[in-house]
C-alpha cells in the first residue's frame, strides 16, 4: 500500500454541526473565536497569556490543549497536506487536500483553511483499529500513518456511488472478516473497560481520608443501612458504624475501619480493630493500600465475621450501588454511564 502524505483530521464542530459548511464552502475550520485573530508568528508565552486571560474558568490543562490545537492549525498544517473530516449522518469520511493559508472569518469557527475535497470513504469499510484511531474527541489532530493509508486506500472519488462497491467476497471470507472484526472489537472493549476501572480507582485514591470515610458510608447507605461516620478526633478504633435501624438495636451491627494510605495493613492493625467485638457484630476493614498475608491469615481466624475491602473491591461496590448513592456521596466520585455494543 502506497503511503500518503500526512492527513490532518478536523472535526466539523460537535456532532458535525458544520459539516455542510465544510463541504459546500470547501473549507476546514476551528473555533475559539473568543481570542480574536492570532498570527502564526505569535510566541508561545503570548499565546499562553491570551488563552489564560480569555478562558479563566477552564482548567489549565484544558487551556493548554486548546492552545496547542490552534498553534498546530496555524503553523503545522500546510498547503498540499491531506485533510479529513467525518459526517456521522452519512457515515462518510470526506477527504481532500489543504489549498490555502489560514484565514479569519466571522462566526463560531473563525479560523479556516481552503480545501479541495476529492474523495470519500465509508466508515463501514474501515477496520476497527482505524475507526478507533479516528475517534478522538479532539477538534484537530494528525491521523496516524496507518489510519491515513487505509482512509485513502479505501476511498472513492466524490460523486461515486459508495454503495456500489466491489462484489461481496465468498461467504467463508465474509465470516473470517466478521470474526476478525469481532475479535478486534472484543479487544478494544476489554481495553476500554480496563482503562475505565483504572481511572475510577485513580479517582477514588485521590480522595482524602475524610472523603474516603464519607464514600464508604455512602455506599453502605445505598445498600440499605443507616451509616454514621465517627466525629473528628474520636479514638474508638471505629470510623463508621452501620445497622438496619441506625441505633444498633437490630442486627447486623457493622463496625467499619477505613485506612486510606499506600502501605498494606498488617495483622497487628486487624487485631487492634477486632478487640472488643462481640457475637452478632460484623466488621469491615477498608484498606486502599491492601493487606499483608499475615493480615489475611488473622482475618480468617477472627471470631467475628470480617470482610476485607481493597481499592478494587471498593470500586466494584461503588459501581454496583452507584445509582442509589445520595448526592453528597456521588459528588465525591462523579461518574457518567457509557453504553457499548455487545454481541
Say what the pLDDT of residue 175 is.
46
For residue 178, tell me if it sits in a domain.
no
Bond before 50 cis per omega within 30 degrees: no
Same domain, 150 and 213: no
Q: Give phi and psi for 302, each to the nearest 5.
A: -65, 150
The pair phi, psi for residue 131, each rounded to 5°, is -60, -40
Verify that 147 and 52 share a domain, yes or no.
Answer: yes
Return the CATH number at 325.
3.40.1350.10
Based on the fold, state whether residues 156 and 16 are members of the same structural domain. Answer: yes
In this structure, the answer to whether residues 22 and 156 fall within a common structural domain is: yes
Query: CB count, 10 Å around CB of 37?
Result: 11
Same domain? 12 vs 120: yes
Indicate whether 249 belongs to any domain.
yes
Identify whether residues 89 and 34 lie together within a single domain: yes
Is 143 a member of any domain?
yes
Digitized pLDDT (tens) for each residue of the chain, 343 residues in all:
345 578 999 999 887 889 999 999 999 999 999 999 999 999 999 999 999 999 999 888 889 999 999 999 999 999 999 999 998 878 889 999 999 999 999 999 999 999 999 999 998 888 878 887 787 677 899 998 989 999 999 999 987 765 544 433 344 444 455 655 666 667 677 777 878 888 888 889 889 989 999 999 999 999 999 999 988 755 556 889 988 876 656 677 889 999 988 778 899 988 888 887 777 788 999 998 888 889 988 888 888 888 899 888 999 999 999 999 999 999 999 998 888 777 6
- Report the SS3 class of residue 341: coil
Q: Does 110 lie in the same domain as 225?
A: no
Examine the domain organization and report whether 157 and 213 are in the same domain.
no
In a domain, 220, yes or no: yes
Residue 86 lies in a domain: yes
Indicate whether 299 and 151 sit together in one domain: no
Task: Give kind and range of the element (H or E) at residue 325.
Answer: none
12 domain residue, yes or no: yes
Shared domain for 155 and 225, answered yes or no, is no
Q: How far is CA 261 from CA 180, 206, 216, 237, 324, in A?
A: 44, 11, 15, 16, 27
- Which of left, alpha, beta for 267 (phi over 0: left; psi -120 to 50: alpha)? alpha
CA dihedral 138, 139, 140, 144 (to 10 degrees): 40
Q: Is residue 172 part of a domain?
A: no
For residue 265, how far is the Cα from the chain centroid?
A: 31
Distance in Å from the first CA to the final CA of the chain: 32
- Is residue 243 located within the same domain as residue 133? no
- Integer Cα distance of 108 and 3 in angstroms: 35
Provide the number of structural domains found in the chain. Answer: 2
Q: Report the Cα 151 to chain-centroid distance in Å.
A: 25
| Residue 45 domain flag | yes
229 with 145, same domain: the answer is: no
In angstroms, the CA 257 to CA 242 distance is 12
Q: Cell 484537530 identifies what position? A: 140
Residue 120 belongs to domain with CATH number? 3.10.590
Final residue of a domain: which of 114, 142, 166? Answer: 166
What is the span of the domain harbouring residue 39?
Answer: 7-166
Give me the sheet containing 226-229, strands edge to edge. 226-229, 240-243, 253-259, 281-287, 306-309
CA distance 65 to 331: 26
Quote the pLDDT of residue 183: 62
- Are the C-beta atoms of residues 311 and 339 closer than 8 Å to each other? no
pLDDT value at residue 173? 47
The pLDDT of residue 192 is 77
Amino acid at each position: 500500500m502506497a503511503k500518503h502524505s500526512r492527513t490532518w483530521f478536523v472535526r466539523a464542530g460537535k456532532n458535525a454541526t458544520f459539516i455542510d459548511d465544510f463541504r459546500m464552502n470547501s473549507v476546514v475550520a476551528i473555533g475559539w473565536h473568543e481570542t480574536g485573530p492570532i498570527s502564526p508568528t505569535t510566541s508561545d508565552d503570548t499565546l499562553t497569556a491570551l488563552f489564560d486571560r480569555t478562558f479563566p474558568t477552564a482548567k489549565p490543562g484544558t487551556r493548554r490543549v486548546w492552545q496547542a490545537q490552534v498553534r498546530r492549525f496555524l503553523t503545522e498544517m500546510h498547503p498540499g497536506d491531506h485533510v479529513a473530516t467525518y459526517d456521522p449522518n452519512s457515515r462518510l469520511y470526506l477527504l481532500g487536500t489543504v489549498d490555502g493559508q489560514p484565514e479569519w472569518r466571522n462566526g463560531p469557527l473563525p479560523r479556516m483553511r481552503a480545501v479541495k475535497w476529492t474523495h470519500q470513504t465509508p466508515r463501514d469499510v474501515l477496520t476497527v483499529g482505524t475507526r478507533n484511531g479516528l475517534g478522538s474527541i479532539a477538534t484537530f489532530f494528525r491521523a496516524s500513518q496507518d489510519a491515513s493509508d487505509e482512509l485513502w486506500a479505501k476511498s472513492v472519488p466524490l460523486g461515486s456511488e459508495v454503495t456500489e462497491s466491489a462484489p461481496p467476497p465468498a461467504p467463508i471470507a465474509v465470516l473470517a472478516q466478521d470474526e476478525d472484526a469481532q475479535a478486534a472489537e472484543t479487544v478494544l472493549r476489554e481495553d476500554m473497560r480496563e482503562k475505565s476501572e483504572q481511572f475510577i480507582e485513580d479517582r477514588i485514591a485521590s480522595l482524602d481520608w475524610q472523603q474516603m470515610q464519607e464514600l464508604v458510608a455512602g455506599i453502605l447507605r445505598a445498600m440499605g443501612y443507616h451509616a454514621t461516620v465517627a466525629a473528628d478526633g474520636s479514638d474508638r478504633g471505629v470510623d463508621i458504624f452501620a445497622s438496619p435501624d441506625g441505633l444498633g438495636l437490630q442486627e447486623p451491627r457493622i463496625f467499619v475501619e477505613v485506612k486510606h494510605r499506600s502501605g498494606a495493613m498488617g495483622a497487628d492493625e486487624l487485631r487492634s480493630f477486632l478487640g472488643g467485638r462481640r457475637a452478632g457484630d460484623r466488621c469491615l476493614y477498608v484498606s486502599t493500600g491492601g493487606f499483608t498475608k499475615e493480615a489475611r491469615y488473622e482475618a480468617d481466624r477472627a471470631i467475628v465475621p470480617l470482610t476485607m475491602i481493597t481499592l478494587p473491591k471498593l470500586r466494584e461496590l461503588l459501581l454496583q450501588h452507584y445509582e442509589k448513592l445520595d448526592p453528597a456521596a456521588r459528588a465525591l466520585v462523579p461518574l457518567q454511564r457509557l453504553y457499548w455494543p455487545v454481541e
